[in-house]
């Protein structure tokens, strides 16, 4: 199996991040885990965005992944991080497959609003269901890794390593998918659906697959986030503002490469953390100001800066 420059670059960057986890403070490792886990969700948003679709409902699958981990640990006693992450991915993917049969019929603002409405339905269910912890949620079991049960700093680093590995696999898969014939349909569908149909290809099935892929990736991100935070609750996982964060990161990153979400997610996590620390009452205003600056001066996202630098080097 051959790897291209993008895949090799990602592997090297994540390997460096893994090594740094042994020397940087614990809080940096924790923030890095949250940032990288959000990349998984943004990968799905990137695929949809290239198709001309904006989803404000990725929190639905994100929450399903997180709550699957929490419930399996609480009621079944399962603790293995790999097993539960896979389970969260499957549950979110199955739900996305069901929803895609209806959601794939809509476009533009209708797609965005319908996806958000479905997410808010789940939010309402979680808030009203005492078995699921209602508004308070519940704690997630401490993860193990194939029988190995690390504690303290070792647990934090182990979770970070798992997150890096899973995200690298997802990034390579998404990159190869976007580089394939089916992946190239994303821009073709965005430009002219009728012409795609004339080629004998089903736009409906293509969008269905993209919704399922985005949902499964969001479920994976939700499962890892649940383990990292150690708690799940409706406001942190299913509320529409959570979906807004993923859209924010997608805009911040740009859709030029699968490497872009890493830049956007890291910057978002840093800005949000420091904004909340130094301006807890108006941190949303700071995030809004960053987004406004981006739209005005870097409309194509952070990755466009990388592209400009490359073009100058070639010239």
CA distances in angstroms from 87 to 46, 95, 145, 188, listed in the order given? 23, 12, 15, 33
Distance in angstroms (rounded) separating the CA atoms of residues 239 and 143: 25
Averaged pLDDT, 54-64: 93
Specify the pLDDT at position 254. Answer: 82
Three-state DSSP string of the chain: CCCCHHHHHHHHHHHHHHHHCCCCCHHHHHHHHHHHHHHHHHHHHHHHHHCCCCCCCHHHHHHHHHHHHHHHHHHHCCCEHHHHHHHHHHHHHHHHHHHHHHHCCCCHHHHHHHHHHHHHHHHHHHHHCHHHCHHHCEECCCCEECCECCCCHHHHHHHHHHHHHHHHHHHHHHHHHHHCHHHHHHHHHHHCHHHHHHCCCCHHHHHHHHHHHHHHHHHHHHHHHHHHHCEECHHHHCCHHHHHHHHHHHHHHCCCCCCHHHHHHHHHHHHHHHHHHHCCCCHHHHHHHHHHHHHHHCCCCCHHHHHHHHHHHHC
More confident residue, 62 or 185: 62
Mean of the per-residue pLDDT values of the chain: 88
Confidence of residue 199 (pLDDT cuts 50, 70, 90): confident
pLDDT in tens, 156-194: 999 999 999 999 999 999 999 988 888 877 788 887 888
pLDDT at residue 126 is higher than 70: yes
pLDDT at residue 313 is higher than 70: no
Which of 118-132, 162-176, 219-233, 245-259 has the least mean pLDDT? 245-259
Averaged pLDDT, 261-282: 84
Predicted structure pTM score: 0.91
Angle, vertex CA 111, rays to CA 109 and CA 112, nearest 5: 65
Cβ atoms 261, 39 nearer than 8 A: yes
Distance in angstroms (rounded) separating the CA atoms of residues 199 and 275: 50
Strand partners, 139: 231
Confidence of residue 306 (pLDDT cuts 50, 70, 90): confident
DSSP assignment of 243-265: HHHHHHHHHHH-SS-TTHHHHHH
């Amino acid at each position: 199996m051959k790897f291209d420059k993008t895949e090799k670059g990602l592997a090297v960057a994540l390997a460096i991040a893994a090594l740094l986890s042994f020397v940087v403070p614990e809080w940096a490792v924790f923030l890095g885990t949250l940032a990288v886990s959000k990349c998984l969700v943004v990968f799905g948003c990137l695929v949809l965005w290239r198709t001309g679709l904006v989803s404000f409902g990725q929190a639905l699958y994100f929450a399903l992944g997180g709550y699957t981990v929490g419930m399996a640990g609480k009621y079944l006693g399962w603790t293995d991080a790999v097993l539960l992450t896979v389970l969260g991915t499957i549950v979110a993917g199955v739900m996305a497959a069901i929803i895609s049969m209806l959601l794939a019929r809509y476009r533009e603002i209708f797609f965005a609003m319908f996806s958000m409405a479905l997410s808010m339905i789940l939010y309402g269910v979680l808030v009203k269901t005492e078995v699921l912890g209602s508004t308070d949620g519940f704690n997630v079991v401490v993860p193990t890794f194939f029988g190995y049960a690390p504690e303290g700093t070792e647990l934090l680093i182990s979770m970070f390593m798992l997150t890096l590995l899973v995200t690298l696999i997802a990034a390579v898969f998404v990159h190869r998918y976007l580089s394939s014939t089916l992946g190239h349909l994303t821009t073709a569908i965005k430009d002219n659906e009728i012409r795609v149909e004339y080629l004998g290809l089903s736009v409906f099935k293509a969008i269905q697959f993209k919704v399922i892929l985005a949902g499964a990736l969001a479920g994976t991100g939700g499962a890892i986030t649940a383990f990292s935070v150690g708690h799940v609750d409706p406001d942190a996982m299913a509320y529409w503002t959570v979906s807004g964060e993923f859209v924010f990161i997608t805009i911040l990153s740009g859709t030029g490469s699968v490497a872009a979400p890493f830049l956007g997610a890291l910057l978002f996590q840093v800005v949000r953390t420091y904004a909340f620390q130094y301006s807890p009452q108006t941190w949303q205003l700071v995030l809004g100001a960053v987004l406004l600056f981006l739209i005005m001066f870097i409309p194509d996202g952070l990755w466009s800066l990388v592209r400009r630098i490359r073009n100058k080097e070639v010239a």
